[in-house]
Structure 1
Amino acid sequence: MPHSSRPVPTSRASRLYEVMDLMLDSLGDPLALKTLAASASYSSFHFGRIFRELTGFSAVEYQRKRRLRRAAHLLRHEPDVAVFRIAQDCGFPSNAAFAKAFKQQFAMSAKAWREGGWRTFMDQQVGRESDVSFFVAEPDNLDVILAPYCPPEPGSIAARIAVRALPPITLRYHRFFGQSGAALSLACNDVICEAERRGGAAPGTPWYGVFDEDPGFTGASEYCYDFGAAAAPAGDPRLGVRILPAGNYACLDFQREWPRFRSMYEDWLDQQAAWRLDSTRPHIEMVERCDAGQWRGWLALPVKKR
């Protein structure tokens, strides 16, 4: 939701969503504000003002933070890639500029982060929010979300994970800013309930939650989460449209439980010799309400061959 007390009109918001997605797809390229503003049919001045109303940040600061979080992903999951190469791929003009920006964002050097500092940052700076994957929270059933993270029995999650080639999905979505944990879960549940009340979604409709960055590295105030359905009505000005990319995903099916991406990272991904995280594609979560009213679905972690 917008950070400003004055909501951004929905038609403006959906145009800005497209610009933000373009920014995410071109993290390694120079940021041309005039070009971005023109693509959303705004002057540079109005683009900057509306972008800040929506996200709480200037476009330059927003892109800098996303570049740094992409770098943080790569440092953790691709240990054989040199730091200077990661800096270049994430759009930093020099090693010195990257080193300064990374330390300002994460309070440690890139080297320290790669050597395990990411875990300290995740646990101390972000805390419990880093443990939370998406849940469709009913208002009277928040205990599962508020409970602290408990690591699974070693191998128990890994045994349930299968790597699948998922097709592309055209998603019509609501975008939420600065929400995570229980607040985000309740907001997404409200979206589902409203759609069902209006007849825009039947029980059993698949709903998708999408985030492009590890919430453990992001924190609640900067968290960006897309939630919607492929079956949502076309032309609704409240909704953005994005194509979830096809590719290999490590998938964990569930029913009447709420597993967390953190358990997939720690029990499967960190032990993998064949697969590693693909930071260029999003995490995807699918949920649907079955005939008995219970929730089921899957978590999908984007992966690529080592």
Structure 2
Amino acid sequence: MATSDRSRAEYQRRVNRVIDYIQAHRAEDISLDTLAAVAAFSPFHFHRVFKSMTGENLREFIQRTRLETAASHLVQRPHTDVLEIALENGFSSASAFARAFKERFGMSASAWRNGGATDASKARQADRKPGEVEHNPRKAALCAPDQDASSSGADARQDEEEIMNVTVKTLPSYHVAYVRCIGPYGPGGVVDEAWRRIARWASARDLWTPDRICLGIAHDNPKVTEPAKCRLDAAIVIPQGFKADGDVNVTDVAGGKYAAGAFLGEAHTIGAAWDQLFGRWLPESGYQPDHRPCFELYQGEFHDPKTNRFRCELCLPVRPL
């Protein structure tokens, strides 16, 4: 078996252990730390790993599988109280279960039990295309990142080639001055203002030089944390001895082994590039995420104002699988 196949199989085994654990403990309040320990992955990056392997966010997966198990039990155990089934599947109250069930299935649990399940099954069969096999969502398989359905095969192959240009390297520690913003990642808004502030601060101290090194340090996963609460540091590497002042803070970014993926594009496409790094490259790499923040590494004049494109390296901290 090739190294990439062994690596992907190991990722699948670990995520499947988590899925089995969720199913066996669905009545319990399951924490992220517990599930990350079951998978033997760092809690810091476990959400992204799980999404890359299953195609679903962890919270969505737990909610969906609890509801689907409860829906099956409603039909299979027609004389069992609805509240009992709700509690067995991790819902704290009848009202919480009722809201979630109706949102998922479009009807009450009682209606589901009294014929709604049969009607829903017939509708699914009617909608299924000839020869289509229903996917089993309870086991992990490598999932390609979401793509626009209108994209051509050539475009998809080009995207894959770009993100697969990944080098595992040892980076030094960086002593940085930074401005922290809290708000949605992406172009515009608080992120752009944070970069303008650090550029003004560095320019006033003759640090905004042509060979400068800047870091965009993301502390949250926007697919887990509410966009309004996401934290990002716009940072520039500075010599030792610089102190924090009213405009910036100073810290050290840990060095070590990182997977560095080359990126060239517009700001609104970088999120998809991160997804591809986690979803395509990582499960076949022989590495797993380490418990350090990811960051984007910018060197020199990285932005072309004519095309509005910029280049950087997406730096994912890793350790052997």
Normalised by the length of structure 1, the TM-score is 0.49
Normalised by the length of structure 2, the TM-score is 0.47
Larger Rg: 2
